[in-house]
Amino acid sequence: MDALEVDEMTDLEEHLMDTLESVVPEADEWGDREVCNLMESVVPLEEGSMEPYVGMEFSSKQMAYDFYNTYGFITGFSIRMNTFNKNVKGVITSVRLVCSKQGFAKGKKRQMEEPLESVSDTIVKTPEKQTSLHRCGCKASCTVRLHEDGKWRVSTFYKEHNHAFVQNTPSKKRHLRSHKQISMKERVDIELLNEQNVGTAKIREYLAAKAGGRENLHYSKKDVNNQIGKAKKKLVGVDANALIDYFRRRQQDDPDFLFDIEPDEDKAVRNIFWVDGRSRRAYQEFGDVIVFDTTYQTNKYSMPMGPFIGVNHHRQSIFFGCALIRDEKKTTFYWLFTTWLQAMGGRKPKSIFTDQCPSMKAAIEKVFGVDTIHRCCLWHVMIKAKEHLGVIYGVVNGFKDEFSDLITYSWSIEDFEANWIAFVKKYKMEGNKHLKVMFDKRAEWAPAYFRETFCAGMSTTQRSESINAVTKIWMDSNTSLYDFATKFEKMVQGVYERESDEDIRTLNEVPQLSTTDPIEAEARRVYTRNMFSHFKAELKKCGGLRIHEVEKDKLYEVRPAKAKAKYKWYKPNRMVCIDKANGKADCDCKMFLFKGVLCSHALEVMRLTSMEPFLPKHYILKRWTRDANASIKRGTNDRSIEGINLDSVMLNALTQRWQILSKEALKDHATYEMVCTKLDELVGDATKSNQRISRDTPTQRKELSSCEASQSLKFHDPPVSHCKGKRRPERFKRPIEVKDAKKMRTCSYCHRKEGHNMRNCPKKKNDEKLGLGQAQELSASEEEDYNEDDNADYIEGDNSYDSEE
């Protein structure tokens, strides 16, 4: 017969506290304790009878179990339920409670009865895991039966034990199995702390501090970990439907919340997308630039996460939705981008930054068309260039710095192409195949090709990478879909909170002015605090510039006061064309078009020519101003007022009243009974009130439970995804193996297996002392090795321009 799980108790007083906290019992009658009057079981103890006796009455079998367990705690042993009988109607009529050491484990009776020497060979030779023996055939037991009057009476009681008790040591008694217990309040604390990503050890330390010390806790760290694991086990097989249930509850609180799920042919979840109402409204103001990238190992199904990220008026990252996809094929990205665009009202962004995945590129071209400029992440391009160029990138003197400066400081397309050709010729790399592929696809990643497109100053997907780093703190490879959505919501709330904090700082703090220029004062009045700091930095650079008039009142050349040309192709001078009639000053660095803020060159010319005493309105983008989010209104059911969460306020108020009520109720038994009765009435009234409100509100959506969602939608949990960029699990290596592997590592400079690398290579240090290291050139055979990759997949990892299949 299967053993039933029974919640144990430590002592009767703590049991009274637990039952008072548990106002509404759960359906499992052997799970959390019912709200019942325990004073009937207290009476025999007060009369001096410390043990059960034949004929003792209880109002329920749970009370009988609690009394015998309390007796076991006082005496110093643990109990368990051994057997129970049912009548023809399936009602339990008798229960036999025994000592935890009753009987023997399977196949262990002979080992308990015989001396250790006679069975030592058997124990050593057995391949089974060696476990300790806990049972010794104790006969102590207590049987209670249900009578016609509804009372449970003790029918038999055997007192004698054949083992020692744990006496006069409460700190040890609490470790007995039936006396280990996590109260309802502690379970709530454990769940809340676990949702905040607090580790098991820290959770137990918090509970120990709250209880007054570890000796007051009646459970171990493993028990806390098991309590956390219970919630995860409930989602096995119903994870997808629990997620849908969560999304539907979100729709009740936020009517603008949208989600969409694409199933496969087996009705298993294939792709998921969701976005809240505030993000949809924020997109209308800040949706001109989007960053999209995928990351892996953030959930138990290895589904890549794809957040849509933008930039708000404080230059902070904000979310415009999130997706979990099964693969990275064209059809998947087409469904995702189409769904996202519909959620955003069909408004396309001006530019979007992604990695160099060919499937993603094809989907973007099909969904967004020519209205959106697609740019590839420059950081990924440079990483792949470093991998393909190999030793040349890090060893040849000046190559790395000049290569980076060439990409960054080539202001026009013509300059970039001319500088690139000169650079390749300088280092004699005309035959390098990877550089050829980079140059052929230069319009997808080179900043010179999109300086006239507003990108909020971005040329990489670094904001997405930063979000991915934060995501990996909250999620791991064991996170379910439901937990992923709830934890992602906490991340989104954190973004909203940071934006709200910056709004307050912008409103209350007045930055200091560095000059008496009225343009700076005007910028301080209209820009947000962070944006004004950026503008102020540009204004400070004006002091180091010199102006030369090329064409009167029309064209000016701006030169740095201390200009040093590091390279022959470098042009530090900028040309500014002005139009006094319309108050315009256009610089060939295109900073305003690219970042939305005037550059120092244009500001210095405007100040010198006295074009405008204040900052022209057409040079002030609304998205960088203090009132940029003024039109972002909350939803009709947004449970907040000026950033204050009403749910949190009401919960705190109820908690304070409950603490006061609990202290007063425990002072007297009559008061306790009165409080329990009133609480039962309040629970009933509150339930009826919510049901009446639900009926009277036709616009309110019906909330589905997980069971109803499973029956109506019948979605299955997704299988484990195997994407191209997913890391395959490796065999665990012992430390000695890792150490040996490092010893066998080959140096890329001297090509010897001596356990060092190029940075600490002895041969390299000697060559540098002789003046040979910096001037070392590659041999013809080595250069062929570096250039042998014909595919030139400078794309990110496996996400190359190869076929998506």
Share of the chain above pLDDT 90, in %: 14
Residue 17 has pLDDT above 60, yes or no: no
Provide the percentage of residues in the chain whose pLDDT is more than 70. Answer: 75
* pLDDT exceeds 90 at position 494: no
Residue 224's pLDDT is what? 82
What local confidence, expressed as pLDDT, does residue 40 receive?
A: 36
In sequence order, what DSSP letters do the residues of 621-671 get, joined into one string? -GGGBTTTTTT-PPPTT--EETTEEHHHHHHHHHHHHHHHHHHHHTT-HHH
What is the four-CA torsion angle of 432, 433, 438, 440, rounded to 10 degrees? Answer: 120
> What pLDDT does residue 545 have?
87
What is the arithmetic mean of pLDDT over 223-242?
78
Contact partners, residue 585, CB within 8 Å, separation at least 6: 576, 577, 578, 579, 598, 602, 605, 606, 611
What one-character DSSP code corresponds to residue 684?
Answer: H
pLDDT tens track for 715-760: 777 778 776 655 554 444 545 444 454 456 678 788 776 667 777 8
- Cα gap 778→557, rounded to integer Å: 43
Segment among 390-404, 489-503, 513-527, 728-742 with least mean pLDDT: 728-742
Mean pLDDT of 532-538: 91
**Could you give phi then psi for residue 499, rounded to 5 degrees?**
-65, -40
- Copy the structure tokens of residue 322: 């999130």
Give the pLDDT of residue 124.
Answer: 46
Residue 351: the pLDDT is 92
The alpha carbon of 392 is separated from its chain's Cα centroid by a whole number of angstroms, namely 39
Q: Is the pLDDT of residue 779 over 50?
A: no
Which pLDDT value is given to residue 352? 93
pLDDT at 648: 55
CA dist 471 and 486 (Å) reads 12
pLDDT at 168: 64
| Burial (CB count <10 Å: 0-12, 13-18, 19+), residue 137 | middle
Q: Which residues contact 243 (CB under 8 A, 6 or more apart)?
A: 272, 481, 482, 485
With bands split at pLDDT 50, 70 and 90, how would you rate the model's confidence at 12? Answer: very low
Instruction: Give pLDDT, residue 309.
Output: 92
| Residue 15 scores a pLDDT above 50 | no
The mean pLDDT value of the chain amounts to 76
Is residue 22 scored above 50 in pLDDT? Answer: no
Read off the pLDDT band of 783 (50, 70, 90).
very low
Structure tokens at 505: 């700082």
Q: What is the pLDDT of residue 566?
A: 75
Phi, psi of 167 (to 5 degrees): -120, 150
For residue 66, CA distances in Å to 85, 95, 185, 220 come to 19, 13, 19, 21
pLDDT band at 117 (very low <50, low <70, confident <90, very high): very low
Distance from C-alpha of 601 to C-alpha of 485, rounded to nearest angstrom: 47
Residue 28 has pLDDT above 80, yes or no: no
Question: Given this model, what pLDDT does residue 89 score?
Answer: 84
| Tokens linked to 141 | 């037991």
Cα separation values, 120 from 21, 26, 126, 519, 654, Å: 51, 48, 10, 92, 62
Number of Cβ atoms within 10 Å of the Cβ of 356: 22
Mean pLDDT along residues 566-591? 85
Lowest mean pLDDT of 122-126, 444-448, 470-474, name the range.
Answer: 122-126
Summarize pLDDT for 426-453 with one digit per residue, the tens: 888 888 888 999 999 989 899 899 888 8
pLDDT of amino acid 85: 87
Res 96: pLDDT? 92
Q: What pLDDT band is residue 336 in, cutting at 50, 70 and 90?
A: very high
Question: DSSP of 489-526, one letter per residue?
Answer: HHHHHHHHHHHHHHHHHHHH--PPPSS--HHHHHHHHH
CA distance 228 to 479: 13
Confidence bin at 805 (pLDDT 50/70/90): very low
Q: Are 446 and 416 in contact (CB under 8 A)?
A: yes
The answer to which of 110-119, 498-507, 749-758 has the lowest mean pLDDT is: 110-119
Neighbours of 155 (CB within 10 A): 14
- Residue 19 predicted with pLDDT over 50: no
Could you write out the DSSP letters of every residue in 151-191? -EEEEEEE---SS----S-HHHHTTSGGG----HHHHHHHH
> 339 pLDDT band (50/70/90 cuts)?
very high
How confident is residue 273, by pLDDT bands cut at 50, 70 and 90? very high
Report CA Rg, the chain. 36
**pLDDT value at 606 more than 70:** yes
- Which range among 147-156, 177-186, 236-245, 792-801 shows the weakest confidence by mean pLDDT? 792-801
Which ranges of 369-461 does DSSP label H, i.e. alpha helix?
Answer: 378-389, 391-395, 399-408, 413-426, 433-440
Q: What is the mean pLDDT of residues 36-51?
A: 43
Average pLDDT over residues 351-357: 89
- Note the Cα 401 to chain centre separation in Å: 36
524 contacts 513 by C-beta, under 8 angstroms: yes
What single-letter amino acid sits at 690? Answer: N
Q: How far apart are CA 457 and CA 189, in angstroms?
A: 44
Query: pLDDT per residue over 651-671, tens digit each?
Result: 666 776 777 787 788 778 788
DSSP secondary structure, 610-622, as one string: T--SS--GGG--G
Per-residue pLDDT, 374: 92
Question: How does residue 693 score in pLDDT terms, banded at 50, 70 and 90?
Answer: low
Per-residue pLDDT, 330: 92
pLDDT-based confidence at residue 131 (cuts at 50, 70, 90): low
- Which amino acid is residue 773, in one-letter code? G
Lowest average pLDDT, out of 136-145, 705-714, 715-724, goes to 705-714
Amino acid identity, residue 131?
T
Spatial distance between the Cα atoms of 788 and 646, rounded to a whole number of angstroms: 64
Query: Which residue in the block uniquely carries the two structure tokens 């020497």?
Result: 117
The most confident of 110-124, 136-150, 654-668, 749-763, by mean pLDDT: 136-150
Angle at the Cα of 635 from the Cα atoms of 630 and 639, rounded to 5 degrees: 105
CB 530 within 8 A of CB 315: yes
The per-type count for the chain, helices as H runs and strands as E runs, is: 30, 18
DSSP 298: S
Is residue 195 very low, low, confident or very high in pLDDT (cuts 50, 70, 90)? confident
Contact 167, 177 (CB under 8 A): no
- Element containing residue 680 per DSSP (H, E): helix 669-696
| Torsion angle defined by CA atoms of residues 43, 46, 47 and 52, in that order, rounded to the nearest 10 degrees | 60
Buried-state track 592-605, b at ≥16 Cβ within 10 A, e below 16: bebbbbbbbbbbbb
pLDDT for 644 equals 43
H or E stretch covering 275? strand 269-275
Q: Cα 299 to chain center, whole Å?
A: 10
Quote the tokens at residue 232: 């995860």
DSSP 455-469: -TT--S-HHHHHHHH
